[in-house]
Structure 1
């Protein structure tokens, strides 16, 4: 039995708004995923509140577990606490 092929996903998360703006699926095309990742990083480089995350996994369901904070709203709370502590 062969191992599942790695799927590539990009998550675009706005920490200020506290929600996922986009979830892109590139299947097994790592080159296309990396190109889009670089494009999005350039596009948002001036916005410190944007997370552009390129993830390799067996499925989006696994990504929703391993990167749950981007899907369940907990990232907003985490970043608010970091800002509160750093301002203090």
Structure 2
């Protein structure tokens, strides 16, 4: 069985840009702690930053399952939500 690895994505909707990808390996505790810290940091600032924590077998899989963060389409998808 493949061990789940943890990946933290930091996406800026205003810039339509993935700012950071952090890999935590199997350290779920550190991943959750970092996620919570980033959420608090950006919640207070009121900016357009989205923090996403994903469990997967590899970063390649995350790039496939969450491609919209890597190719920028997540930034425009909110405009089509009401259609």
Common fold: TM-score over 0.5: yes
Structure 1: stretches of 5+ with no match in the other structure: none
The CA distance in 2 between the partners of 1:59 and 1:41, in whole Å, is 23
3-state SS, counterpart of residue 68 of structure 2: helix
1:4 CA displacement? 0.6
Match of 2:29 in 1: 31
| Per-residue CA distance 1:14-71 (angstroms, 9 max, x = gap) | 0111010000000000000000000000000032511100000000000001111000
3-state SS, counterpart of residue 45 of structure 1: helix
The CA distance in 1 between the partners of 2:76 and 2:26, in whole Å, is 33
3-state SS, counterpart of residue 16 of structure 1: coil
3-state SS, counterpart of residue 75 of structure 2: helix
Tell me how many residue pairs correspond in the alignment: 81
Match of 1:71 in 2: 70
1:82 CA displacement? 5.1
3-state SS, counterpart of residue 38 of structure 2: helix
Match of 1:15 in 2: 13
Structure 2: stretches of 5+ with no match in the other structure: none
3-state SS, counterpart of residue 34 of structure 1: helix
Q: Which runs of 4+ in 1 moved over 2 A?
A: none
Q: Which has the larger radius of gyration?
A: 1
